[in-house]
Structure 1
């Protein structure tokens, strides 16, 4: 589902448990291009994604001071997956991946924890961000079989003194991720492995 309000796209959702787990119908091949997001909660994929979401392209978009920037989110009760997401050539202010949300999980939990995997973030300008906290803030699931996996950040410009936080993730690569003063950001890692920067 694409949610529009007063001409603005706010979020992308597909099913929630338990209906989403029972029906199991995924959403695939989504393109979001040439959009200007002025305000709101964020450019959101999830958290109602029990049927699964894959093959999403976000390209040539701009976002103002949204609450969570571009976000991929879910809870461990929802099940499903978000995979094969590409975010290219965008001007954003924050990237967040959430796995712990204080949401009503709408009944019986899914039999499996969700999977977040295979994301590419390339040629992004976050340098105008005035957000508090990390400019890139990613959290996989704590279960060792459901860590966030296979993520690439390349050619990303961050504000001065930026921080990047990586939690419960595996195989995350940061290439040419620099602040406006051509310094590397400060990285904080927790319960993660194979993180390269």
Structure 2
């Protein structure tokens, strides 16, 4: 007779193991959800996942998943009118990961995530704040203010795979402290029939913010087909960084790296000691960069 453990192991083997793990709190096609006043710990995978939802408010919550594989904290997915504030994260993966459908299913259903308000958060570990990589239906209208994203792996990260399509558009971050800012492609979530077009990221503004983590401060790398380096529609484009402080008191240099970018503006971007920073570009695929002191 098979034991419960052997049956579970059989299903894990048959269905790809780690992919069958459930979410701790899952909201599906829900409206007017208010999540507050609780501590949430140790999920088997993502901690809070809402999909095809409308109007979800989260505040006064602590989310801990350190050491959990794919232990995301708060994952809105193909949903709209979302707000989170007064919440602390210490996670095993992305603290927040805004999504809009996974791979071919995301392309088929094609429901974007829209109108997300994020403020007064402390992200104290894990990978940081992410949009993607599952963003095949698109993400639009994300506003962040007064957030601390420190001791994380990536800081603020916008990410997608070339084959998944979708978009990230209209992101505003104001008055935050973050480790890094990255917008680029990743190598995972690429399975299944590819989308007909590349992804694109555009309309990104970061103001009055400190970027003080280790390593490269900013990395913007758009999407290109092999052998087609000048399809600007899929570049990272229309980006403004204004009143930005880079590094800490001991940093004499912080790198900003650009590739496959169009219409990028840096206005009053300085090291903490007041010196100018360095910009590294791939000159064949970077257009319209303005540096305004």
| Cα distance in structure 2, aligned partners of 1:3 and 1:153 | 32
After superposing the two structures, state which structure 1 stretch, 156-165 or 47-56, moved more. Answer: 156-165
- Tell me what 2:219 maps to: 137
| 3-state secondary structure, aligned to 1:22 | helix
| Cα distance in structure 1, aligned partners of 2:217 and 2:236 | 18
| Cα distance in structure 2, aligned partners of 1:91 and 1:124 | 6
Instruction: Determine if the alignment matches structure 1 residue 175 to structure 2 residue 257.
Output: no
Q: Which has the larger radius of gyration?
A: 2
Q: What is the aligned counterpart of 1:74 among 155, 160, 170?
A: 160
Question: Contact 1:3–1:11 at 8 Å: present in 2 too?
Answer: no
| Cα distance in structure 1, aligned partners of 2:177 and 2:141 | 21
| Cα distance in structure 1, aligned partners of 2:189 and 2:133 | 11
Question: Contact 2:133–2:189 at 8 Å: present in 1 too?
Answer: no
- Report how far residue 30 of structure 1 moved: 0.4
Question: Contact 1:10–1:41 at 8 Å: present in 2 too?
Answer: no
- Report how far residue 125 of structure 1 moved: 1.1
- Tell me what 1:184 maps to: 276
Instruction: Determine if the alignment matches structure 1 residue 149 to structure 2 residue 231.
Output: no
In the superposition, the TM-score normalised over structure 2's length comes to 0.63
| 3-state secondary structure, aligned to 1:34 | strand
- Report how far residue 59 of structure 1 moved: 0.9
- Considering Cα pairs closer than 8 Å and 6+ residues apart, tell me whether 1 or 2 has the greater RCO: 1
Instruction: Determine if the alignment matches structure 1 residue 162 to structure 2 residue 254.
Output: yes
- Tell me what 1:62 maps to: 148
- Report how far residue 3 of structure 1 moved: 5.1
* Regions of 4+ moved over 2 Å: 1-10
- Tell me what 1:83 maps to: 169
Instruction: Determine if the alignment matches structure 1 residue 107 to structure 2 residue 187.
Output: no
Question: Contact 2:161–2:189 at 8 Å: present in 1 too?
Answer: no
Q: Give the aligned length.
A: 193
Say which structure is richer in helix.
2
| 3-state secondary structure, aligned to 2:238 | strand
What do you get for the CA RMSD once the two structures are aligned? 1.6
| 3-state secondary structure, aligned to 2:268 | strand
Q: What is the aligned counterpart of 2:104 among 11, 18, 35?
A: 18
Question: Contact 1:10–1:40 at 8 Å: present in 2 too?
Answer: no
- Report how far residue 104 of structure 1 moved: 3.7
- Report how far residue 10 of structure 1 moved: 3.2
After superposing the two structures, state which structure 1 stretch, 6-15 or 34-43, moved more. Answer: 6-15
Question: Contact 1:79–1:114 at 8 Å: present in 2 too?
Answer: yes
- Report how far residue 146 of structure 1 moved: 0.9
Question: CA offsets per residue over residues 137-178 of structure 1, 9 Å max, x none?
Answer: 111112513111100000000013111111110000000000
Question: Contact 2:98–2:113 at 8 Å: present in 1 too?
Answer: no
Q: What is the aligned counterpart of 2:201 among 89, 92, 116?
A: 116
| Cα distance in structure 2, aligned partners of 1:155 and 1:3 | 34
| Cα distance in structure 2, aligned partners of 1:17 and 1:24 | 10
After superposing the two structures, state which structure 1 stretch, 74-83 or 103-112, moved more. Answer: 103-112
